[in-house]
Amino acid sequence: MENGKTNEIFGVLRELFGVEAKIELNYATELDLLVAIILSAQCTDKRVNLVTEKLFKKYRTVADYANADVKIFESEIHSCGFYRNKTSNIIGMAKAVQELGGKIPADMEALVKLPGVGRKTANVFLAEWHKLPAIAVDTHVARVSRRLGLTKSKNPEVIERDLKQIVDKKDWRRVNIYLVLFGRYYCKAIKPQCEVCKLKKHCLEFK
Ligand code: SF4
């Protein structure tokens, strides 16, 4: 793909969402962030923020999560969905971090060994907290990338590789934020806002 098209697409997204665009999950610490990302699987950021508003006041350290009562924790995160899995993953992640000396790892290889942390979660965490060049591919990123012809694949790892080939490395960490926001507010899965879309000239579906 020509660089011109990619630059134009990300230029429009930068204008829409600003250079300071952030993920929409609320957090103060790296532990908050990792917990919020795990909770956000199959759940809206809005719902996660409602739940974590109370959760982060009660659970402040890795030990707080590692020693959490499973039933109580399940009830506290119940509305995020998949609450049993998420409880087991968050408590398991905290125990694994304790075994590592209490510090959350800052590299992909070690992060994906933590319970509940897959490649997508690790990429969001590395890009957001550590400001490292990483591209997290979720359902929004995958859908929008295909519609805009940035990839032909449905496989998240292939999409990540395709995006890394066409986007400047310095911009990698913003790719997820921009494509998620664009997918959430404009290029929705059902009834995308094509009439007002500023990227329609690049869109394979619109054509
Ligand atoms: Fe998405 Fe419609 Fe824009 Fe295409 S024209 S990128 S489908 S919002």
Ordered domains of the chain (ranges, CATH): 3-21+136-202 (1.10.1670.10), 30-129 (1.10.340.30)
Q: Helix, strand or coil for residue 36?
A: helix
In angstroms, what is the span from residue 80 Cα to ligand 1's centroid? Answer: 29
In angstroms, what is the span from residue 3 Cα to ligand 1's centroid? Answer: 20
21 Cβ inside 6 Å of ligand 1: no
Query: How confident is the prediction along the chain (207 residues), in pLDDT tens digits per residue?
Result: 557 899 999 999 999 999 888 899 999 999 999 999 999 999 999 999 999 999 999 999 999 999 999 999 999 999 999 999 999 999 999 999 999 999 999 999 999 999 999 999 999 999 999 999 999 999 999 999 999 999 999 999 999 999 999 999 999 999 999 999 999 999 999 999 999 999 999 999 886
Contact 108, 119 (CB under 8 A): yes
Catalytic residue among 32, 45, 86, 120: 120
pTM, full prediction = 0.91
pLDDT at residue 2 in the model: 54
Is residue 69 part of the annotated active site? The answer reads no
Q: Please, which residues have CB within 8 angstroms of residue 127's CB and are 6 or more apart in sequence?
A: 133, 134, 135, 136, 172, 173, 176
206 Cβ inside 6 Å of ligand 1: yes
Catalytic residue among 32, 45, 86, 138: 138
User: How is 73-141 classified by DSSP, letter by letter?
Assistant: HHHHHGGGS-HHHHHHHHHHHHHHHHHTTS----SHHHHTTSTT--HHHHHHHHHHTS--S-----HHH
